[in-house]
A and B are shown apart, each in its own frame.
Chain A
Amino acid sequence: MNTSGFVQEKDKREGWNRPPHIEPDGEGELLEVAMGPHHPSTHGVFRMDVALDGERVIRLKPVFGYLHRNHEKIAEGIGYLGSMPFTDRLDYMCPLTNNWAYALAVEKLTGQQVPERAEYLRVIVGELTRVVNHASSIGFLIQEMGASGTPLMYAFKAREKILDLFEELTGARMMCNYMRFGGCRVDATAEWLAATRKVVAGLPKFADEYERLLRGNEILMARTQGIGILRPELAVNAGVTGPMLRASGINYDIRRVDGYSIYNRFKFRVPLGEHWDVYDRFMIRLLEMRESFGILEQALKEIPTGPVMDPKAKIRGFRPKPGEAYGRIEAPKGELGFYLISDGGPNPYRYRVRPPSLVNLTVLEDMCLGSNVADVVLIFGSVDIVLGEVDR
């Protein structure tokens, strides 16, 4: 890796990080199409205003805000704990990592310690969330390619087992509201841990099956290889994080870099892409899933006994000292950060979510320009977004 920064001398000229200018071939008129907001491939309500020259994309402007509810304003009007269940609704595929990022930011603000067992439980549920997210995101990508149902249902088969575990632990399949400042809400029983070990032991088999079904598939390779290329220097400059950044060949995993929680205790590898295309993003997610199995096995083996909440921790009605904190984690979609300013009151003065889904979409236009309109759906699918987090 280039250690003196990613921007080469030749790239320092004005506008190097802007989308390229694509000239129409001059025959016929441009066709402007609004893809969305009710397009089945947009994972919710999202619109892309596309200008087409024949099949070729000349211009693409994403339009946001259909799901905007001003989450940040609502959070400024309620206490710190009140926002915890609301974070579930940001990226509703991965509620537990949202909880985790918010709890981490508040713990940074107040200096609250987290007991050992709670850290292990956080890692276990966090990595299970990553498996759920990556498996379904691959499923949705293949679904958008036209393979209706089958691969997605394979992913959902594994997802169901994990969601059953979440339900048993937290009482809810998706809106878990599990973490608290200074630990977790409830302890896991020995039966739950045994059941989790059993599910985790079965996951590699699922991944093998899933990979065998997809990896060498001729149609998948033809549709995804060489499509939606994202150059590493642009990826860094545009703030792209998560599997998308690593598919562009940049070794940046916040679990490694920050070593937050107890991640520096676990052995895991960071898979990197070589071709920077849609296929790499798909493969990175498959490989990261396998690394998560490893982390899960280690965590389930080492989990100690003890409390899951600091008994002195104040969960409700506390007033942090004036100041601010930015806490971030490696969520399945990228860097999920929470920025909090306290003015000494019971509510945060400023509450900001750094959404990985929104920032990763910055480069959508760059990746799509010049490709065919059918590939836009795939490139968009490979970014892996959830609109609940994009629009907040």
Chain B
Amino acid sequence: MKTVEEIKAAIETAIPGAGVVIVPNPSVSGQHSLRITPAHAVAVATFLRDDAELSLDFLSNATGVDWPDKEVSEKVKITRTVTKTVDGQEQQVEETVEETQKRVVPGCLETVCHLFSVSKGHGPVVIRMKTANRTDQVELPSLTPIWRSAEFQEREIFDLFGIVFTGHPDLRRLLMWDEFKDHPMRRDYVEPDDFEYEPTAHDEVLTRAQEHQAKLAGMAAGQEGAGA
């Protein structure tokens, strides 16, 4: 079977400007993956399926991964000019200072697909796609028209992660009920307040519900603060 580098080259020959990036996998499994851009996803997927040598006709596993916003602190060397008294005279001196800076790496949602070839018996080839962010730009193109096996698995990703697949023929929740609001597999998911279903709303239950509401309100306020 071709290596990821060869597959990347083959894709870029067939689809100019496809923008495939190799994502190395440092673990011993050595299953490196290819990140494809949503704009070219359908063309790339069709190529992978129909190319005579690759013929990846079997999409085995499609799943989502949530990468929340991450705060990284890194040390940066900054050169600045300071006024110092050297030998009794005031002079402008350049000085290098090491500072710890914090910056937020914006999060995203990701889909990962494992492709195999039934006719050739090779695989897996791992392809991934990223959304622009985690809140309002969560659309990705659906691969269901190319591999039918993505149908239920994309519905599951939509349900549990909240990625919206454009071009999916029947995008509904799969495991949670239709009226459900949130996406349980996101890492910042908080369980909903189900206390109203308690048969008898006695004091203890009401206290728990109040605590829960206060916690939710606190989280919402915290998020707004972080956004500002």
Contacts and interface: CB of A to CB of B under 8 A. Distances in A.
Interface of A: 1-7, 12, 14-15, 17-18, 64-65, 68, 70, 72-73, 108-111, 234, 236-241, 250, 252, 257, 320-326, 328, 335, 337, 339, 341-342, 349-350, 352, 354, 358-359, 361-363, 391-392
Given A5-B55, A391-B175, A323 B61 contact: no
B153 interface: yes
Given A322-B27, A323-B26, A339 B61 contact: yes
B31 A326 contact: yes
A337 B114 CA distance: 10
A359 B50 contact: no
A239 B174 CA distance: 18
Nearest to B153: A359
Contacts of B174: 64-65
B26 A322 contact: yes
Given A321-B26, A323-B25, A362-B149, A3 B31 contact: no
B148 interface: yes
Interface stretch (B116-124, B196-204, B213-221): B116-124
B106 to A, nearest CB: 18
B60 A250 contact: no
B119 to A, nearest CB: 6
Given A359-B149, A362-B152, A6 B27 contact: no
B119 A2 contact: yes
Nearest to B122: A257
B112 interface: yes
A18 B145 CA distance: 8
Interface of B: 25-29, 31, 49-50, 52, 55, 57-61, 63, 65, 112, 114, 118-121, 124, 126, 145, 147-153, 156, 160, 169, 173-177, 184-185, 189
Nearest to B46: A12
A239 B65 contact: no
Contacts of B65: 341, 349-350
B52 A239 contact: no
A357 to B, nearest CB: 11
Contacts of A3: 119-120
B184 A250 contact: no
Contacts of B175: 64-65, 68, 391-392
